[in-house]
């Protein structure tokens, strides 16, 4: 093995370097300049994202434990862009609230470690690497959820996340051992999954662990509580980046090594999709707190993703990746606005947004676009994402499920419109007064808006994903 | 840029310009100019269509086709026939009239006109599309601005009405989406590629089982927008709460998307399903005709009267479409047009009356003919057109519908025809009731004596709508010839 082949791990190496750099910076930088650490971290990550966009060769490392293809490279770049937006949106919060507690660089370190874990999960070539990635991506987030240690809710959120995550990954690991017992290998390429009872049980337990991460019903109970207590940036990370990556990995695994169990997991996905959509949507209706609201909304969105999985071919894979990509931008838009307003005023309830359009028209419009995209209203991207997911499900003849899903879209439209109603229809004496967002927040929101507007209508992007998603089925 | 894409481009440009306007004056001018250009283009399209039709015998003319999503075979495909041309003409007239009538909107006026024109963009795009996906996109674009338009600028229980309307129409699109996907995945029945293109699907023999399954979904998806009983309940509430121009656009144009979609998509693509289901839907829509008329008879709120009247008249359109012959279809399309102009005029007049008297309750009004002569006289004209008096558009349309419907020899359809015809009598009663109570007699309220006369922009709006109503009534032949010619490919499917 020559060292140039290690360049295949470019994403991972650079991110690790950034992580270490942040530690060094924390030690070297003087007390007064701690605030600049935030800018430094964001800048470093922006460079990493830009470098990450450069083309990367396909290859396998460590005897098959680590694989990189154009597809994984592409998806890592999507995650990078998502995290970059998230860091931009959190910049003000970090500078104003966190830097004074000497904790700014920790935030970056933890986010970077978790992202590194996601990279490994995506590129894993065997279950060992996969499990390491899963753990590495979850543990730092639990620390992040408890990040505002002075707030009781935040600590509660951290404890809830770490306990349930530990249980979930333990279950997953147990499932993996069962599959190892029956197939005699951990390598995805070598494993031969057959529909024996033990394998199926192993698969189910493994699935439960991933479903926890994607917050599919009935493994979703932690979601709303953790989101509510955690800082908005962390809730946003959980709901967008971590969930998106887990859904991507779930798809890859189902379409490749679990293909022999297709007849079993197709029914499972059908049922879980139904349950997740209904639970997410019906609970979202009753929420007042926007973080809880977005938590249930993101549960419902995960239910929609499963529809794409029902079509085990290039079409299904493409629609899932495409939808996740759109979801990253749409949800970050919504979380970004919530964060901007919460930073400024501390208000997080839907009622607090009454009359927002008349005082802060630009923020309201960003929120409107993001919510419409989540709801799937054309011409913004979310419509295309959902339509294609439904097309994928319909291509296999699941018309009834598609119909139920579109009914769910209508239900979701109701609660998204509740926020629109507060912002646009209501007038209020004590509406949130006008404020000017800082540069980083503006940049972060602008990127999401561009994403929401362009990704849907710009079809070459879809065609590109369609082309590369074929890679899943080769080998 | 081709002649049809301009119908989407010009409104989009208007919206972009509106986004940069600074004051009310500029907002008005930009919207007015944009929609004037649009009307000019529509008239130009009409003549261009005649010229093209003389040399071109394709089903659709001015077709353009750009690949959009290649792997799905989704295209941005556009084209028009006689039916879509007249619909585009209707839309551009009603939108322009709407801009005139909304001249005085001052609260968030920029946003108001932007939403109004977004709605119009969706409608224009819908009428030029011949690709199901593109069509569906435009359909949804047309529906969603209604929420903001009613919710922000409406009156009465506007939040409730806006939500009800949006959810019902979006719920209907759930059916529609499944229907469209069903058609798409059966479009390769003859071995060709999957396609969303309407003209290509029309060449395919979709299996009867699929037609039977997907016709009611597609039909209902559109019919909710066309106020089919019992899915019409969003319409009276929505109209009553909406601001004037929105009611005009909504009843005048948006509801026509329902009938047009049923004809162009559900019936044209799934003819066997249509024949199979026609009895059931004829019963529903005939009932709607009578129900709407009777409900209008009992209302005192002017907007509710007109909304139920719309349910009744659009029910006739649905009945006529399901009667499956050229005369009835011709009547259905004429009725769509006629109702579009008429009801827009009604809503405009109701808006003017409400603005002056601050009530829409006919029991509180009286003797308006003396104090508001222009508005009242126009109201009478619109009423006469509505009840189908010869010389106005309504007569031509309804005559065609009844003759066409009665051409069917079977007892069921003849009975349905008779039932529908009887609604005309009720229509006359509720129109004359309003005219009698509201316009005739002594002036009920002293304050009414000083009501301001109609302003120039109101008059322009009214003239714009009056001309086609009278025009269609006096010289209907050129129009119905043009429509009949375009019906040939449809009748060939049945």
User: Do residue B163 and residue A414 have CB atoms under 8 angstroms apart?
Assistant: yes
B181 at the A interface (CB within 8 A)? Answer: yes
Using DSSP, state whether A94 is helix, strand or coil: helix
Q: Can you spell out the DSSP letters for B89-112?
A: HHHHHHHHHHHHHGGG--TTHHHH
Q: Would you place residue B136 in the very low, low, confident or very high pLDDT band (cuts 50, 70, 90)? A: very high
| Contact call for residues B275 and B494 (beta carbons, < 8 A) | yes
Which tens digit of pLDDT belongs to each residue from B25-58?
Answer: 888 888 889 898 989 999 998 888 888 888 888 8
User: Do residue B140 and residue A383 have CB atoms under 8 angstroms apart?
Assistant: yes
Which tens digit of pLDDT belongs to each residue from B454-483?
Answer: 788 888 888 888 888 888 888 888 888 888
User: Do residue B140 and residue A378 have CB atoms under 8 angstroms apart?
Assistant: yes
User: Do residue A406 and residue B162 have CB atoms under 8 angstroms apart?
Assistant: no
Residue of B nearest to A420 (CA): B148
The mean pLDDT value for B299-312 works out to: 88
Which residues 436-455 of B are in CB contact (within 8 Å) with A? none
What pLDDT score does A333 carry?
A: 93
User: Do residue A390 and residue B181 have CB atoms under 8 angstroms apart?
Assistant: yes
- All residues of chain A having their beta carbon less than 8 Å from the beta carbon of residue B133 are 387
Q: Would you place residue A2 in the very low, low, confident or very high pLDDT band (cuts 50, 70, 90)? A: low
User: Do residue B151 and residue A424 have CB atoms under 8 angstroms apart?
Assistant: yes
Using DSSP, state whether B325 is helix, strand or coil: coil
Minimal CA separation from B136 to chain A, in Å: 9
- All residues of chain B having their beta carbon less than 8 Å from the beta carbon of residue A459 are 68-70, 74
B13 at the A interface (CB within 8 A)? Answer: no
User: Do residue A417 and residue B166 have CB atoms under 8 angstroms apart?
Assistant: yes
A458 at the B interface (CB within 8 A)? Answer: no
Cβ within 8 Å of residue B79, ≥6 positions away: B4, B60, B61, B62, B63, B64, B128, B130, B199
- All residues of chain A having their beta carbon less than 8 Å from the beta carbon of residue B171 are 407, 410
User: Do residue A413 and residue B185 have CB atoms under 8 angstroms apart?
Assistant: no
pLDDT at A262 over 80: yes
- All residues of chain A having their beta carbon less than 8 Å from the beta carbon of residue B178 are 394, 399, 402-403, 406
A53 at the B interface (CB within 8 A)? Answer: no
What pLDDT score does A450 carry?
A: 93
Q: B44: domain range?
A: 6-491
A394 at the B interface (CB within 8 A)? Answer: yes
User: Do residue A399 and residue B159 have CB atoms under 8 angstroms apart?
Assistant: no
Residue B75: name the closest of B187, B161, B212 by CA: B187
For A377, the closest of B70, B144, B151 (CB atoms) is B144
Residue of A nearest to B118 (CA): A379
What pLDDT score does A250 carry?
A: 92
User: Do residue B163 and residue A421 have CB atoms under 8 angstroms apart?
Assistant: yes
Token pair of B39 as six digits: 């009307």
B429 at the A interface (CB within 8 A)? Answer: no
Cβ within 8 Å of residue B178, ≥6 positions away: A394, A399, A402, A403, A406, B214, B217
For B72, the closest of A358, A391, A421 (CB atoms) is A391
Q: End-to-end CA distance of chain A: give it in Å, rounded.
A: 22
B66 at the A interface (CB within 8 A)? Answer: no
| Contact call for residues B79 and B4 (beta carbons, < 8 A) | yes
Chains A and B form CB pairs within 8 A to the count of: 83
- All residues of chain B having their beta carbon less than 8 Å from the beta carbon of residue A397 are 185
B72 at the A interface (CB within 8 A)? Answer: yes
A285 at the B interface (CB within 8 A)? Answer: no
Which tens digit of pLDDT belongs to each residue from B386-426?
Answer: 887 887 887 888 888 888 888 888 888 888 888 888 888 88
User: Do residue B163 and residue A372 have CB atoms under 8 angstroms apart?
Assistant: no
B178 at the A interface (CB within 8 A)? Answer: yes
B151 at the A interface (CB within 8 A)? Answer: yes
The residue with tokens 């080998």 is A475
Greater pLDDT, B17 or A30: B17
User: Do residue A414 and residue B137 have CB atoms under 8 angstroms apart?
Assistant: no
Name the least confident of A135-139, A277-281, B358-362. B358-362
Domain membership flag for residue B1 = no
Number of domains observed in the structure of chain A: 1
| Contact call for residues A68 and A468 (beta carbons, < 8 A) | no
The mean pLDDT value for A298-308 works out to: 92
User: Where are the alpha helices (H) located in A191-313, listed in sequence order?
Assistant: 197-214, 222-229, 232-236, 243-255, 262-285, 290-309
pLDDT at A85 over 90: yes
Test mutation, B170, B196, B209, B242, chain A, max A CBs within 10 A: B170
Pairing state between β B74-80 and B61-69: antiparallel
User: Do residue B69 and residue A459 have CB atoms under 8 angstroms apart?
Assistant: yes
User: Do residue A409 and residue B170 have CB atoms under 8 angstroms apart?
Assistant: yes
Using DSSP, state whether B196 is helix, strand or coil: coil
What pLDDT score does B399 carry?
A: 84
B391: Cα within 13 Å, side-chain hemisphere = 5
Whole-number Cα distances in Å, A304 to A237, A380, A390, B238: 19, 17, 8, 31
pLDDT at A1 over 60: no
Residue of A nearest to B154 (CA): A425
State the Cα–Cα distance between residues B331 and A283, nearest whole angstrom. Answer: 48
User: Do residue A459 and residue B68 have CB atoms under 8 angstroms apart?
Assistant: yes
What pLDDT score does A323 carry?
A: 94
A322 at the B interface (CB within 8 A)? Answer: no
pLDDT at B97 over 80: yes
User: Do residue A406 and residue B144 have CB atoms under 8 angstroms apart?
Assistant: no
Q: Which contiguous run of DSSP H or E holds residue B24?
A: helix B24-55
- List phi, psi (to 5°) of A349: -100, 155
| Residue percentage of chain A with pLDDT more than 90 | 48
User: Do residue A315 and residue B69 have CB atoms under 8 angstroms apart?
Assistant: no
Token pair of A450 as six digits: 């561009």
Minimal CA separation from B139 to chain A, in Å: 9
Minimal CA separation from B69 to chain A, in Å: 5
Token pair of A322 as six digits: 């495409």
What pLDDT score does A185 carry?
A: 86
- Taking each helix axis from N to C terminus, what angle separates A127-145 and A152-183, rounded to the nearest 10 degrees? 170
Residue of B nearest to A384 (CA): B137
User: Do residue A402 and residue B167 have CB atoms under 8 angstroms apart?
Assistant: no
Q: Would you place residue A347 in the very low, low, confident or very high pLDDT band (cuts 50, 70, 90)? A: confident
Q: Would you place residue A475 in the very low, low, confident or very high pLDDT band (cuts 50, 70, 90)? A: low
Cβ within 8 Å of residue A271, ≥6 positions away: none
Domain membership flag for residue B228 = yes
Q: Which contiguous run of DSSP H or E holds residue B372?
A: none
What pLDDT score does A366 carry?
A: 93
Q: Can you spell out the DSSP letters for A323-388?
A: HHHHHHHHHHHHHHHHHHHHHHH---BSGGGTTHHHH-HHHHHHHHHHHHHHHT-TTSHHHHHHHH
B148 at the A interface (CB within 8 A)? Answer: yes
Pairing state between β B74-80 and A59-61: unpaired
B115 at the A interface (CB within 8 A)? Answer: no
- All residues of chain A having their beta carbon less than 8 Å from the beta carbon of residue B177 are 387, 390, 402, 406
- All residues of chain A having their beta carbon less than 8 Å from the beta carbon of residue B74 are 459
What pLDDT score does B193 carry?
A: 87
Domain membership flag for residue B301 = yes
pLDDT at A88 over 70: yes
Test mutation, B68, B181, B182, chain A, max A CBs within 10 A: B181
Q: End-to-end CA distance of chain B: give it in Å, rounded.
A: 36
For A399, the closest of B144, B158, B178 (CB atoms) is B178
pLDDT at B357 over 90: no
Token pair of A178 as six digits: 């069962």
- All residues of chain A having their beta carbon less than 8 Å from the beta carbon of residue B213 are 399
Number of domains observed in the structure of chain B: 1
State the Cα–Cα distance between residues A403 and B476, nearest whole angstrom. Answer: 43
């Amino acid at each position: 093995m020559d060292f140039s082949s290690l360049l295949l791990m470019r994403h991972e190496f650079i991110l690790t370097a950034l992580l270490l750099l942040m530690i060094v910076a924390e030690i070297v930088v003087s007390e007064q300049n701690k605030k600049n650490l935030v800018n430094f971290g964001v800048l470093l990550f922006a460079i990493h994202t830009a470098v990450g966009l450069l083309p990367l060769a396909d290859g396998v490392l460590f005897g098959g434990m680590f694989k990189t293809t154009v597809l994984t490279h592409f998806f890592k770049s999507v995650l990078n862009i998502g995290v970059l937006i998230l860091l931009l949106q959190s910049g003000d919060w970090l500078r104003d609230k966190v830097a004074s507690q000497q904790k700014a660089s920790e935030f970056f370190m933890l986010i970077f470690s978790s992202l590194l874990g996601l990279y490994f999960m995506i590129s894993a070539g065997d279950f060992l690497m996969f499990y390491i990635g899963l753990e590495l991506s979850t543990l730092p987030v639990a620390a992040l959820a408890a990040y505002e240690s002075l707030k009781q809710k935040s600590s509660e959120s951290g404890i809830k996340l770490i306990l349930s995550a530990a249980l979930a990954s333990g279950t997953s690991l147990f499932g993996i051992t069962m599959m190892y017992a029956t197939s005699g290998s951990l390598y995805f390429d070598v494993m031969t999954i057959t529909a024996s009872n033990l394998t199926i049980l192993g698969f189910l337990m493994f699935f439960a662990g991933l479903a926890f991460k994607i917050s599919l019903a009935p493994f979703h109970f932690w979601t709303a509580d953790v989101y509510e207590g955690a800082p908005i940036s962390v809730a946003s990370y959980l709901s967008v980046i971590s969930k998106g990556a887990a859904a991507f990995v779930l798809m890859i695994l189902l379409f490749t090594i679990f293909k022999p169990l297709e007849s079993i997991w197709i029914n499972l996905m059908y049922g879980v999709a139904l349950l997740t959509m209904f639970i997410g949507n019906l609970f979202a209706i009753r929420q007042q707190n926007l973080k809880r609201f977005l938590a249930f909304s993101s549960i419902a969105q995960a239910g929609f993703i499963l529809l794409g999985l029902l079509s085990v071919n290039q079409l299904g894979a493409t629609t899932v990746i495409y939808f996740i990509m759109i979801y990253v931008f749409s949800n970050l838009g919504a979380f970004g606005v919530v964060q901007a307003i919460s930073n400024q005023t501390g208000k997080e309830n839907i009622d607090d947004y009454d009359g927002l359009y008349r005082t802060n028209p630009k923020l309201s419009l960003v929120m409107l676009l993001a919510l419409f995209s989540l709801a799937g209203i054309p011409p913004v991207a979310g419509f295309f994402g959902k339509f294609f997911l439904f097309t994928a499900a319909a291509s296999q003849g699941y018309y009834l499920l598609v119909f139920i899903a579109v009914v769910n879209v209508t239900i979701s439209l109701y609660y998204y419109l509740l926020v629109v109603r507060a912002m646009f229809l209501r007038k209020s004496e004590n509406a949130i007064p006008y404020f000017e967002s800082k540069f980083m927040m503006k940049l972060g929101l602008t990127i999401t808006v561009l994403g929401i507007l362009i990704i849907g209508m710009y079809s070459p992007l879809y065609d590109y994903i369609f082309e590369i998603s074929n890679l899943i089925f080769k080998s | 840029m081709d002649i049809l894409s301009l119908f989407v481009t010009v409104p989009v440009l208007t919206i972009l310009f509106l986004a940069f306007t600074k004051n009310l004056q500029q907002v008005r001018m930009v919207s007015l100019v944009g929609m004037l250009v649009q009307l000019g283009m529509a008239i130009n399209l009409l003549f261009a269509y005649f010229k093209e039709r003389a040399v071109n015998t394709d089903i659709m003319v001015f077709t353009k086709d750009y690949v959009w999503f290649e792997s799905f075979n989704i295209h941005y495909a556009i084209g028009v026939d006689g039916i879509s041309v007249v619909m585009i003409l209707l839309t551009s007239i009603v939108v322009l009239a709407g801009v005139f009538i909304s001249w005085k909107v001052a609260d968030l006026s920029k946003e108001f006109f932007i939403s109004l024109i977004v709605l119009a963009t969706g409608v224009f795009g819908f009428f030029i599309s011949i690709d199901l996906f593109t069509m569906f996109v435009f359909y949804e674009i047309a529906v969603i601005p209604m929420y903001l338009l009613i919710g922000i600028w409406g009156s009465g229980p506007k939040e409730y009405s806006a939500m009800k309307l949006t959810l019902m129409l979006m719920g209907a699109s759930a059916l529609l989406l499944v229907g469209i996907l069903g058609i798409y995945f059966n479009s390769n029945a003859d071995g060709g590629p999957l396609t969303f293109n309407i003209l290509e699907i029309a060449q395919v023999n979709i299996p009867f089982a699929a037609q039977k399954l997907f016709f009611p979904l597609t039909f209902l998806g559109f019919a909710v927008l066309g106020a089919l009983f019992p899915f019409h309940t969003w319409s009276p509430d929505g109209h009553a709460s909406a601001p004037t121009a929105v009611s005009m656009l909504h009843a005048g144009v948006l509801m026509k998307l329902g009938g047009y979609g049923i004809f162009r998509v559900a019936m044209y693509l799934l003819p066997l399903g249509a024949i199979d289901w026609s009895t059931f839907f004829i019963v529903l829509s005939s009932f709607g005709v009578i129900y709407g008329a009777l409900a209008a008879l009992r209302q005192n709120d002017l907007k509710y009267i007109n909304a139920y009247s719309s349910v009744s008249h659009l029910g006739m359109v649905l009945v006529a479409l399901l009667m499956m012959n050229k005369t009835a279809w011709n009547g259905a399309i004429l009725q769509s047009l006629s109702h579009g102009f008429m009801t827009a005029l009604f809503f405009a007049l109701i808006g003017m009356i409400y603005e002056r008297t601050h009530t829409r309750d006919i029991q509180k009004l009286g003797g308006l003919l003396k104090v508001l002569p222009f508005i009242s006289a126009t109201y009478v004209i619109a009423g006469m057109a509505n009840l189908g008096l010869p010389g106005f558009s309504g007569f031509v349309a309804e005559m065609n519908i009844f003759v066409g419907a009665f051409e069917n020899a079977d007892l069921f359809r003849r009975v349905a025809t008779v039932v529908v015809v009887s609604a005309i009598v009720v229509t006359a009663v509720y129109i004359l009731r309003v005219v009698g109570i509201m316009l005739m007699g002594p002036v009920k309220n002293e304050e009414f004596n000083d009501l301001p006369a109609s302003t120039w922009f109101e008059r322009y709006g009214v003239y714009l709508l009056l001309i086609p109503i009278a025009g269609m009534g006096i010289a209907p032949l050129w129009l119905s010839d043009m429509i009949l010619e375009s019906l040939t490919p449809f009748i060939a499917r049945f």
